[in-house]
Amino acid sequence: MRVLIIGSGGREHALACALSRSPQDPELFIAPGNAGTAALGTNVDIAGTDLDTLSQFVHERDVDLTVVGPEQPLVTGLVDHFLHEGHAIVGPTAAAAQLEGSKAFAKSFMAERGIPTAAHRTFEASQVDAAHDYLDEHGAPIVVKASGLAAGKGAIVCETLEAAHDALHRIVESRDFGAAGERVVIEEFMEGEEASVFALTDGAHYVLLPPAQDHKPIGEGDTGPNTGGMGAYAPAPVVTGRVLQRVCTDIIEPTLAGMIDEGHPYTGVLYCGLMITDEGPKVVEFNCRLGDPEAQVVLSMMAVDWVEVFQAMARGTLRDLQLQTRHNAAACVVMASRGYPGRYRKGYPITGIDAAEELDGVTVFQAGTRRDGEQLVTNGGRVLGVTATGDLLQDALDRAYAGVERIQFKGAQYRRDIGKKGLARIPS
């Protein structure tokens, strides 16, 4: 059994780790991978958007299954290309991946299907003056979003009108997020607590992973600019059994049925980014893949053969599987470079990972790392995801932070309040 993982971040390291636990003992290839994935398989220097070269590699190496980590290859059409070539792959087609690739499409789709989300309006770049007028009409707080892919940083929550106009200028006129700003979505600010629910689906059937909660802003207390994610934990107590049932009936099931009606059945991972409001769960955004760093916690919790699960998703036989957990809770604390999510320097030596992983239940997933000879050094904004499991959420958090304390690199920054909202909801 040979499996190719597409991507280079902490999520892909977590996927490699999960797949390596399979009793089928798969041979793993990771394109392009990072310093952490190199210990679990063979890194392959091919970009996730180089469709022809990836397909050629799969053919030449007789790869049995490809699992896609990040969103860009999916939106670019990697799944379409592989299916045309007869390669087994897990993930949505480019048309289905529009749920993440175009917030404008997702909002229109949800409105047509009656899927609960924030009230909104979409503007083309040529309509920027009308968009500014819309902001003045509706006031703040309000949310301004680049419609396209922006590495998780294109949604700006604006507390004041001045901030909203500035966000609109950055997205549409300054093009801080590049082509993602060709359209902009302006939506109402929703009160509540955010959570992430992941459905694994073969297009017709689905199973759920434990609900998680990400921590997007760089600063403690959810302050500062959004990042790709500064930490996560699971399960998220805000997603009660009743809430989860509504997520299934009001969001996941009509989304999957709607994509079938559109002629683009959705297969792969459907990430439902939610706001749990007084009126019930509402969609903040859809993503077409596992979250990062949520993947690190939910994959660490599960007691399943991930080769079997991903094969079932690709073959349309998911209804025959049930997922079991092996740990009650998991937490991940991201260690990032100073300056992230803005400018930062690379190349600083990293020490202490082995010492951290000596702690019970701790795994350090690498993201922005590389090897400089024998020395592991920083190579990105989000560098490490120090992840731990435990019987209780507090246990997992204590272990994760104990692991963080053993790791050093110049300029390391991390949030010290990961899981605080979850702990507040757990009876003492």
Secondary structure element (H or E) that encloses residue 421, with its range: helix 420-425
> Quick one: tokens of 47?
């970009």
Task: Give CA–CA dist 46/275, Å, rounded.
Answer: 37
Cβ–Cβ under 8 Å, residues 295 and 11: yes
Please say whether the beta carbons of 339 and 300 come within 8 A: no
Structural domain 329-425, CATH architecture: Alpha-Beta Complex (3.90)
CA distance 295 to 198: 10
Mean predicted confidence (pLDDT) in 310-324:
93
Q: CA-to-CA distance for 36 and 300, rounded, in angstroms?
A: 16
Could you report the per-residue pLDDT of 209-242, keeping only the tens digit for each? Answer: 999 999 999 999 999 988 999 999 999 999 999 9
Confidence of residue 154 (pLDDT cuts 50, 70, 90): confident
Which residues on neighbouring strands pair with residue 193, listed in sequence order? 276
Mean pLDDT of 413-427: 96
Domain 119-188 has CATH 1.10.3720.10: no
96-111 in b/e form (b: 16+ CB < 10 A) is bbbbbbbbbbbbebbe
Which among 213, 270, 242 is positioned nearest to 97, based on CA atoms?
A: 270
CATH class, range 2-76:
alpha beta
Longest distance between any two alpha carbons in the chain, whole Å: 59
Across the chain, mean pLDDT equals 96
Q: What is the pLDDT of residue 54?
A: 98
Q: Which whole number is the average pLDDT over 412-416? A: 98
Q: How far is CA 94 from CA 42, 83, 101, 124, 185, in A?
A: 27, 12, 9, 21, 21
Q: Are strands 280-287 and 268-277 parallel, antiparallel or unpaired?
A: antiparallel
Quote the pLDDT of residue 152: 73
Find residue 117's DSSP bridge partners: 283
Contact 361, 293 (CB under 8 A): no
| Lowest-confidence pick of 97-106, 150-159, 187-196 | 150-159
Q: Where are the alpha helices (DSSP H) in 263-316?
A: 294-301, 306-315
Q: How many C-beta atoms surround the C-beta of residue 133 within 10 A?
A: 11
If you ran DSSP here, which 8-state letter would residue 425 be given? Answer: H
Residue-wise pLDDT tens digits, 260-312: 999 999 999 999 999 999 999 999 999 999 999 999 999 999 999 999 999 99
The pTM of the whole model exceeds 0.85? yes
Contact 222, 258 (CB under 8 A): no
Ramachandran angles phi, psi of 252, nearest 5°: -65, -50
Question: What confidence tier does 150 reach under pLDDT thresholds 50, 70, 90?
Answer: confident
- CA-based R_g, the chain, Å: 21
Dihedral, 44, 49, 52, 53 alpha carbons, nearest 10: -20
Q: Where are the domains of the chain?
A: 2-76, 119-188, 191-320, 329-425
How far apart CA 277 and CA 116 sit, in angstroms, is 11
In this predicted structure, the answer to whether residue 153 has a pLDDT above a threshold of 80 is no
Q: Residue 280: what pLDDT? A: 96
For 380, the 3-state DSSP assignment is coil
Domain topology for 191-320: D-amino Acid Aminotransferase; Chain A, domain 1 (3.30.470)
Q: Return d(Cα 414, Cα 424) in angstroms, integer.
A: 21
| Mean predicted confidence (pLDDT) in 370-380 | 96
CA angle 113, 96, 205 (to 5 degrees): 75
Q: What is the pLDDT at residue 200?
A: 98
- Report DSSP letters for 111-150, one per residue: HHHT--B--EEEEEGGGHHHHHHHHHHH-SSEEEEESS--
Query: Which of 373, 388, 282, 243 minimizes the C-alpha distance to 330?
Result: 388
- What is the predicted pLDDT for the residue at 143? 94
Average pLDDT over residues 384-403: 98
d(CA 152, CA 11): 14
Average pLDDT, integer, range 320-335: 94
Under 8 Å CB-to-CB from 174, ≥6 apart: which residues? none
- What is the percent of the chain where pLDDT is above 70? 100
